[in-house]
Structure 1
Amino acid sequence: MKKIILCSILVLGMLFAKEANIAAAANLQYVLQEISKEFLLTHKNDKLNISYSSSGKAYAQISQSAPVDLFVSADEEFPQKLYMEKKTLDKPQIYAQGVLVLWSANPKIKIHTLEDLDQKDIFHIAIPNPELAPYGRAAKEVLQKTKLYDLVKSKLINASSISQAHQFVSSGNAEVGFGALSLIDKKDKKISYIIVDKSFYAPINQALVLTNYGKNNSLAKEFKEFILSTKAKKIFQKYGYIVNE
């Protein structure tokens, strides 16, 4: 009898389990894993399907009616475009501000200033595609404002997303690269990095929005609110993001 009751409870749990599809910016890979894990502690049978890519790529997919409930972008611009296209009911909300870094995984190269990019032993500089990735847009702005762009443009390697830019650097395919503080392993003694002066680029205000596809998805709505919660803000801060208290 106990086994029957237990099986019945499990079946009911599966029947009432909820699921949500999340399109997230690539810089969120580590922080969102921790946030979603914390969220699912109170949603035992529910499932979050999170895919990571450049915000521009995610925007294009949602704009073409991809089955995405919640868009967690690396900027405000792409979610705002969806709102203007009437692909969302509500305006985007900012959840955190990203921090741009310049870094190297090559122990022979130490990054101290932006001017280090002009070193003779630096042949490749990874940068997320500025057309698709907000961090890449910020990196290009930095190079232009500091008058370094013309000096190093022949060294630039465009990556499809910020995670690919990090892969180029970590694999040695690029000696240095622009990336997100949230993706830097601060315990790795072999890497060197600097936080880029925020006065050189427009704030990377990262926003999220529920799509029309997800307007009736209660799990997506709850996860959105959790990302905006005080508990999630503390996790964002842990990974180097700037949040409003």
Structure 2
Amino acid sequence: MRIVLTACLLLLSLASPAHALTIAAASSLRLAMPELTQAFEQQYPDASVTVVFGASGKLASQVLNGAPYDLFLSADTGYPERLAGEGVTATDPETYAEGRLVLWHHDPQREALTPPDLTGDDIRRIAIAQPRHAPYGQRAKEALQALALWEPLQPKLVYGENIGQTAAMVESGAADAGLIAWSLTFAPDLAGREFTLIDDRLHQPLAMAMVITGRGGSSEEARQFRSFMVSEAAAAILGRFGFEAPKGH
């Protein structure tokens, strides 16, 4: 896997068209990004956007190690702030949305679960994203701790490398239930599946921030996409996928 990743990053770093833009985006944006990039490219027809998805922490590490990304869209504010502190960004972090956490289950015939239901014998495996590098995983841990469920549920917990993988574990039945991004429940083949929004007072906010990387500092397209992400057009698209406007906006 490391060899494949290195090869991919090397290919991305080779000479590319002047208007090409490479974005590192949190996995929670996977369903929204096609519409966002399409709207951006309609506004800037000369631009060409490539998106690489992953856990925010892992993408931040790649930026820190010189990965050829022009813009980093994180699922939190912490990782962009760390990169800015390391001096590898061309801009300060700017929030563009807030995510929400939901409790979702595999059985399409079942009614929505509540967190206490997770202790039932019929729920054998519960998926969350890895808290060490995925903001949604960290917030899931915080919510379960606030509900005094973290310790009792330890034997049932299974971890996805990112929130996209976590959602896939629930969808496939590898896990009976999971705490995932609301934005990932909008896939067409998941329409009608029941879920429960987690009270956002149970965890730190899922404020999402972006930065232009040092590599993207001279990219006009990176600056244009950054501005686009805080536009009304982008907010409307993000809203259709369960993202909320940042507090104070």
User: Fold-level match, TM-score > 0.5?
Assistant: yes
Asked if 1:38 is matched to 2:39, the reply is yes
Which residue identity does 1:214 align to in structure 2? G
Which residue identity does 2:40 align to in structure 1? F
CA distance in 2, matches of 1:183, 1:22: 19
SS at match of 1:30: coil
State the match for 1:130 in structure 2.
131
SS at match of 1:126: strand
State the match for 2:166 in structure 1.
165
State the match for 1:10 in structure 2.
none
State the match for 1:6 in structure 2.
none
Quote how far apart the aligned CAs of 1:43 are: 2.6
Q: Structure 1 stretch 42-51 or stretch 97-106: which is displaced more?
A: 42-51
Does the 8 Å contact 2:31/2:186 carry over to 1? Answer: no
State the match for 1:53 in structure 2.
54
Which residue identity does 2:194 align to in structure 1? S
SS at match of 2:32: helix
State the match for 1:92 in structure 2.
93
State the match for 2:234 in structure 1.
232
State the match for 1:106 in structure 2.
107
Instruction: Give the counterpart of 2:197 among 186, 195, 198.
Output: 195
Quote how far apart the aligned CAs of 1:208 are: 0.1
Instruction: Give the counterpart of 1:211 among 210, 213, 236.
Output: 213
- Going from structure 1 to structure 2, the CA distance change for 1:100 and 1:46 (only over 3 Å counts) comes to same
CA RMSD of aligned residues (A): 1.7
Quote how far apart the aligned CAs of 1:235 are: 1.1
In our comparison, the structure showing a higher alpha carbon Rg is 1
Quote how far apart the aligned CAs of 1:16 are: 7.5
CA distance in 1, matches of 2:17, 2:57: 34
Does the 8 Å contact 2:93/2:210 carry over to 1? Answer: yes
CA distance in 1, matches of 2:184, 2:29: 8
SS at match of 2:31: helix
Quote how far apart the aligned CAs of 1:119 are: 1.2
Quote how far apart the aligned CAs of 1:89 are: 2.7
Quote how far apart the aligned CAs of 1:150 are: 1.4
SS at match of 1:90: coil
State the match for 1:5 in structure 2.
none
State the match for 1:178 in structure 2.
179
| TM-score normalised over the length of structure 2 | 0.88
Q: Report 1:5-24 matches (<5 A).
A: 18-24=19-25
CA distance in 2, matches of 1:177, 1:24: 22
Does the 8 Å contact 1:128/1:165 carry over to 2? Answer: yes
State the match for 1:152 in structure 2.
153
SS at match of 1:52: strand
Does the 8 Å contact 2:103/2:113 carry over to 1? Answer: no
State the match for 2:143 in structure 1.
142
| TM-score normalised over the length of structure 1 | 0.90
SS at match of 1:184: helix
Which consecutive residues of structure 1, in runs of 5 or more, have no partner in the other structure?
Answer: 1-14
CA distance in 2, matches of 1:192, 1:239: 16
1:189-214 CA distance string (max 9 Å, x none): 66221000111001100000001100
State the match for 1:67 in structure 2.
68
SS at match of 1:151: coil
Does the 8 Å contact 1:105/1:190 carry over to 2? Answer: no
Quote how far apart the aligned CAs of 1:111 are: 2.8
Quote how far apart the aligned CAs of 1:17 are: 5.3
